[in-house]
Amino acid sequence: MISTAPKLFTDEQTRRLYATDASSYEELPEAVAFPKTTAEIVGLVAYAREQDCPLTARGAGTSLAGQTTGGGIIMDIGRNMNQIMDIDPQGQTARVRPGVIRDTLNRQAAQYNLLFGPDTATTNRCMIGGMIGNNSCGLFSIKHRTTREHVLEIEAVLSDGSKAVFKPLTPTELTAKMELDTLEGKIYREMTTLLENHREQILENYPHPQIIRRNTGYALDRLCEMQPFTDDGRPFNMAELLCGSEGTLAITTSAKLNLVPQDPEKVVLVPHFSSIRAAMEATVEAVKMDPAAVELVDDIILNATKGNIEQQKNRFFLDGDPKGILIIQFDGDNRSRLKTKAEELARRLQDLKLSASTPIITDPDKIDRVWHLRKAGLGLLMGLGAKGRTPTFCEDTAVRVVDLPNYVDDFQKILDRHNSNCVFYAHASVGELHLRPVINLKKEQEIEKMKTMAGEIADLVRHYRGSLSGEHGDGRTRAPYIEKVLGPEMMPLLKQVKHIWDPQGLFNPGKIVNPKPMEQDLRYSPSYRPPSVNTQFKWRKEESFSDAVELCNGAGVCRKLADSGGTMCPSYMATQNEKDSTRGRANLFRQLFSGRQQEAFQSGELRDALDLCLSCKACKSECPANVDMARMKAEFMHGWHQANGISLGERFFAQAANLYPLAGQMPRFSNWMMRQPAVKELLYQLLGIDKRRRLPEFAREPFDQWLKERKEASPSPASTDKPGVVLLVDIFTNYHEPDIAKAALHFLEATGHQVIVPAFHELGRPQLSKGMVSHAKEVLDEHLPLLSAYADRGLPIVGIEPSEILTLRDEYLDLCDDNQLKSVQKIAKQSFTFEEFAQKVLAASNAVPSPDTRRKVYIHGHCHAKALIGNEATHEALRLAGYDPEILETGCCGMAGSFGYEERHYDVSMDIGELTLFPALRPLPDDALICVPGFSCRHQIEDGVHRQAVHPAQLLAASIQ
């Protein structure tokens, strides 16, 4: 191999991880490479030529037409080639490597009040190279048009390994390029000849020029608009051809981009409709008002938001259950004028009897929430499960806006003819709708239906002189039908373009031209074998373990970086390795279990991929499809333990309750021992505990011992009129931080409650985190009778540690037997985190806090709480108690129970802490109150920034003294 080429990874795990993207396809590559420089790409191209091996460039892998899958070498440019090389605020340009994430660029450009305009639903993880390859457009394409309009120059590696820069050329410069005795010169000579000979034919057959989003085939019509082919055209720039070429012609190594000023104000109008036809007629009216965006969301997606934890809170603007809505945004510098425009359009739609409900939203935070719901659309469809699976074979068509109402009617006729339902959503403002008929690819007759419908839809697009692909590219899905849309006379020209640029056919073959049949290499097909294995969890919501492993559609929301906000996926944020993303792990689950079935529980590659999963549960809410990787990991680890046994370290962390009573009886000795170097070495050797960690010290008196002595000294009366409440004190609070339990008890008693403290300290959380699921089931069985008795009496069950108490509301519902389910459901309904219950108590008391006692409190939320219930209860309880709370925008702390204590995880644990949490805490005043509900979070903060954090119970108890 040439020395400058990057290392090729040929192991099965890596190849599996890159076998899929967000499309319906799965093709195992021969190898995967992660180049760091242009020189390494040159070397890789030379190697591919020598071996006659196809080469497919890939960024985030969010493409929907299969264009980033391939059987040769997959080249991931995202991991290393992700530098913003320069931002020129005066010239309003940026020069970037192809692996730069769009939102990352815009965060840096924002300091100059600039942005890169194209705004896809995937902007928190999609990369500029991929946006160029697909000519991405997004939500605001009526305003910003496409990526093509914002790419000024492209530096690329050609198929012979040479380098070239494509940019606007004067006639003299174009002539000079054509005289070069290189592949670049040959490209210019033969491309100009092709355009000269076929200009009229191209313009006649290509989509209507009024259609902004037209990406069918190669953009020959765009080149025909330039000089010298159009006298008053813009300068000739082959970069426009590369935009939308899907990596089939050249490999982008850097790009110079146009940036545009940000508009300071925005207003959103959301009219509701009783039919999709009415929404399309309203779109025709809306575009007359010069909006920045007009997006359609139909009832299928809106209904899916009801069952999504993250999106439920974003439904605030919905009035009933409309058939569809339009999200119409107006941008400018005067909010009042924008609101007036929105009101005028709302009246117009009402007068035309198109919409009776037209809410207008002006608050920026609420506007962001509306768009969050819209952007979740693709993943929400996958959250519907197998019954709602919608392959992307026709979802990207575009027609003129004026044709939309009739086009939708004609499309519905095709659906009716094939007895199929369809999802309607996306970019109505520019005539593009994501139309996704429901097709079950596991059935042969459904595949035949898909192929027939694809042909009929292509004919319909041709009838309206539309574009088969408006944004997501031809790839493998639509390439077989380009001929129907552009006509048979265009296909030789497209093939000639491919041959001019890539005569050996190395770059991403089979995309745009010479495609395989659309039904080949499908992820799901009649030959697919769904997993049929014995599991510990019941997987009731998903209906089966098989359905659970098929939830991920590859949209890659889990690949966003920490700067984009949220918590998912903390290990990927730290390593940026595909195997550490929820998507990567989910793909391995599906591939291995569908292939090896029960034997997949012994898979070393899946065990490795799960090693850095912190079981934070962020994916359960932030993943639009609600993939619960924490539960999948627990299920897998249980099966792994059955075959390979349970290590001493895993037993130690999972069954601390067996050891703590002894250590708690002699706390001073226990603490002294844990500080000794020899003991630290022993703990490292036996249990894998990192010697750099400070182990939590045992309190001089555990809470249960203190409570026993308190009761003996002052027995409570046998009966009382006070309302009862059950306080669950977890083992770590009991032995390490009993003052927190005392504070919780004080608060509950001071607010008029009779407090019952059960004698047990665990609900199975540590066991679940180590995959000892059967042991957790034993804990459930042991404590269920007493918990049921509390629930039957109507007693609230309150927990101090969020992960423990939320186990009752989450895993118990799937861990219990069928005959236990009703009891567990009742317990779940009556279980509360301490903060949730405190909020209810304080809200009911109608107490008015004194403004003189208000003090700033900074809140870092527990991952499980953020995923399952949010931070609002903590914030509201502290506010009601008289504090001035602020929720910090921090993700996972990186400790995650025992994860951060383990030597093999220590560095990643601290790296995760440095992503958002540690930087957020360091600038705070020395006397700042830092409120953290989670035990491991507080200890990570102490180790990471040497700050003391307190539990909400301590602050709330102090507020009522």
Supply the DSSP string of 119-164, one letter for each residue. B-TTTTT-BHHHHHHHT--BTTHHHH--GGGGEEEEEEE-TTS-EE
Whether 854 contacts 879, CB under 8 Å: no
- Listed residue (231, 220, 235) closest to 170, CA to CA: 235
Q: Are 105 and 96 in contact (CB under 8 A)?
A: yes
Q: What domains can you pick out in the chain, each with its CATH number?
A: 8-76 (3.30.43.10), 265-441+455-501 (3.30.70.2190), 545-644 (no CATH), 646-961 (no CATH)
Residue 384 pLDDT grade (very low, low, confident, very high; cuts 50, 70, 90): low
pLDDT single digits (tens) 332-365: 999 999 999 999 999 999 999 999 999 999 999 9
Gap between the Cα atoms of 108 and 116, Å rounded = 11
Predicted confidence (pLDDT) at residue 301 exceeds the cutoff of 90 = no
Residue 120: partners with Cβ closer than 8 Å, 6 or more residues away: 102, 126, 131, 136, 137, 138, 139, 471
Could you tell me the two tokens for 615?
């079981």
Cα dihedral 573→577→580→585 (10° resolution)? 130
- The secondary structure of residue 563, as a DSSP letter, is G
What's the half-sphere exposure (Cβ side, CA atoms, 13 Å) at 792? 8
In which band, very low, low, confident or very high, does the pLDDT at 1 lie, cut at 50, 70 and 90? very low
DSSP secondary structure of 598-649: GGGGG-HHHHHHHTT-----HHHHHSTT---HHHHHHHHHHHHHHHH---HH
E strand or H helix that includes residue 294: strand 293-298
Segments of 371-444 assigned E as strands: 422-426, 434-437
- What's the rounded Cα separation, in Å, for the pair 875 and 891? 16
- For 555-566, the pLDDT digits (tens) are 899 999 999 999
**Least confident window among 78-82, 327-331, 844-848, 957-961:** 844-848
Where residue 479 falls among pLDDT bands split at 50, 70, 90? very high
> Strands 724-728 and 754-756, how do they pair?
parallel
pLDDT digits (tens, 9 = 90+) for 133-150: 999 998 899 999 999 999
Q: Mean of the pLDDT values across residues 402-418?
A: 94
CA dihedral 777, 778, 781, 782 (to 10 degrees): -150
Q: Which residues, other chains included, contact 586 with Cβ-Cβ below 8 Å and sequence gap of 6+?
A: 549, 551, 552, 627, 629, 632
Torsion, CA 161, CA 167, CA 171, CA 175, rounded to 10:
-10
Q: Amino acid identity, residue 716?
A: S
Mean pLDDT, the chain, integer? 94
Reply yes or no on whether the pLDDT at 707 is more than 80. yes
Residue 823 has pLDDT above 80, yes or no: yes
C-alpha of 263 from chain center:
27
Confidence of residue 385 (pLDDT cuts 50, 70, 90): low
The two three-digit tokens of residue 680, written as one number: 């630290």
CA 238 to chain centre: 34
Q: What DSSP letter does each residue of 488-522 carry, written as one string?
A: GGGHHHHHHHHHHH-TT--BSTTSSSSPPPTTTTB
Residues with Cβ < 8 Å from 268, sequence gap 6 or more?
327, 328, 329, 330, 342, 360, 361, 362, 367, 370
- Of the ranges 62-66, 417-421, 775-779, which is most confident? 775-779
Burial 626-654 (b: 16+ CB within 10 A, else e): bbbbbbbbbbbbbbbbeeeebeebbbbbb
| d(C-alpha 396, C-alpha 141), whole Å | 14
477, HSE (Cβ side, Cα atoms, 13 Å): 33
User: pLDDT (tens digit, 9 = 90+) per residue, 865-920?
Assistant: 999 999 999 999 999 999 999 999 999 999 999 999 999 999 999 999 999 999 99
Which pLDDT value is given to residue 740?
98
> pLDDT value at position 716?
66
> What span, in angstroms and rounded, lies between the C-alpha atoms of 454 and 395?
10
In sign, the C-alpha dihedral spanning 652, 653, 658, 662 is positive
Helix/strand/coil (H, E, C) string of 14-71?
HHHHCCECCCCEECCCCEEECCCCHHHHHHHHHHHHHHCCCEEEECCCCCCCCCCCCC
Distance between CA atoms of residues 413 and 434, nearest Å = 17
Looking at the chain, the whole-number percentage of residues with pLDDT higher than 90 is 88
309, 809 contact by CB (below 8 A)? no
Say whether pLDDT at 388 is over 70.
Answer: no
Q: Which two tokens stand for residue 763?
A: 């609900």
Closest CA to 744 of 723, 727, 762: 727
Q: Which amino acid is at 54?
A: P
Of residues 777 and 385, more confidence is placed in 777
pLDDT tens track for 835-851? 999 999 999 987 656 55
Q: Output the CA angle 780-784-787, nearest 5 degrees.
A: 125
- The phi and psi torsions of 945 (rounded to 5 degrees) equal -130, 5
Q: Is the pLDDT of residue 387 over 60?
A: no
pLDDT at residue 166 is higher than 90 = yes
Instruction: Give residue 2's pLDDT.
Output: 46
Q: What is the mean pLDDT of residues 239-264?
A: 97
Instruction: Please state, in angstroms and rounded to a whole number, the distance separating the CA atoms of residues 104 and 80.
Output: 15
Residue 382 has pLDDT above 70, yes or no: no
